Structure 1
């Protein structure tokens, strides 16, 4: 667990981090080596879930040797499938990180929603439902590896 006391927000206990795969964690189906290292570091503290419809059929290869749980949500309506998944977790102890239209519900529902403006862009709907906007997945993961950054962004 990662615990951060944020003035105005209170004590935040983070047990789960949900990540969208394509567009957020991976670009063109590939997860950068440095991102993999950050996930491995975080996986010792929290549960990491990677959610994907796997439309590019690259998830199994991208996830090889990654310390995270791959959750495939095949078919239509991935937005609601992701939402159903997050409802089975303690949402107040869950962080959602995404970039797309289909991430907007989990970004809103999670205790903390982070939208990533990456190489594939960012949905305005996702941004409107997030608590924090970051410029890359590197920055998103660093918020939890260096939690004082959360204080700088969220303190009232």
Structure 2
């Protein structure tokens, strides 16, 4: 469990990190070695789930062997699938990271929401429903290894 005290806001208790794949931790279907290394480090503290409609069809192979649980969501109703998944985990303990339209419902059900504006862009409503916005997957994942960045951004 990861406990983060936000001055003026209280304590955030996180157990789960739920990640979108394409556009969030991967670019054009490929996950970088740096991202894979960050996931290995984060898995020491949080349970990690990757939820994806798998646009490029290679997500499972890209993350095979990493300490993450892979779930394919519907290409037509993935937003609802992601929301349901987060709610079943217990959204009050979930940090969600995404960039797309199908991440909005997941964000609304999560305690901490991080949007990534990477090379594939980001859906405007995902940005509007996030707590923190970053410009690449590495920055998003590093937040969970250096939580003072979260504190600095969210404090009152």
SS in 1 for 2:19: strand
Where structure 1 has 5 or more consecutive residues not aligned to the other structure, the ranges are: none
Number of residue pairs the alignment of both structures matches: 156
SS in 1 for 2:142: helix
Question: 1:108 offset after TM fit, Å?
Answer: 1.9
Q: Which residue number corresponds to residue 46 of structure 2?
A: 46
Q: TM-score, normalised by structure 1?
A: 0.96
Q: Is the 8 A contact 1:107 1:115 kept in 2?
A: no
Question: 1:75 offset after TM fit, Å?
Answer: 4.0
Deviations 1:45-71 (A, max 9, x none): 110000011232112211122110001
The aligned runs of 1:1-156 (5 Å cut-off) are 1-156=1-156
Deviations 1:106-134 (A, max 9, x none): 11220011100011001101111111111
Matches of 1:50 and 1:71, distance apart in 2: 6
Matches of 1:35 and 1:20, distance apart in 2: 13
Q: Is the 8 A contact 2:29 2:55 kept in 1?
A: no
SS in 2 for 1:92: helix
Matches of 2:22 and 2:62, distance apart in 1: 10
Matches of 2:90 and 2:81, distance apart in 1: 17
Where structure 2 has 5 or more consecutive residues not aligned to the other structure, the ranges are: none
Matches of 1:109 and 1:75, distance apart in 2: 20
Matches of 1:38 and 1:88, distance apart in 2: 25
Matches of 1:13 and 1:75, distance apart in 2: 31
Q: TM-score, normalised by structure 2?
A: 0.96
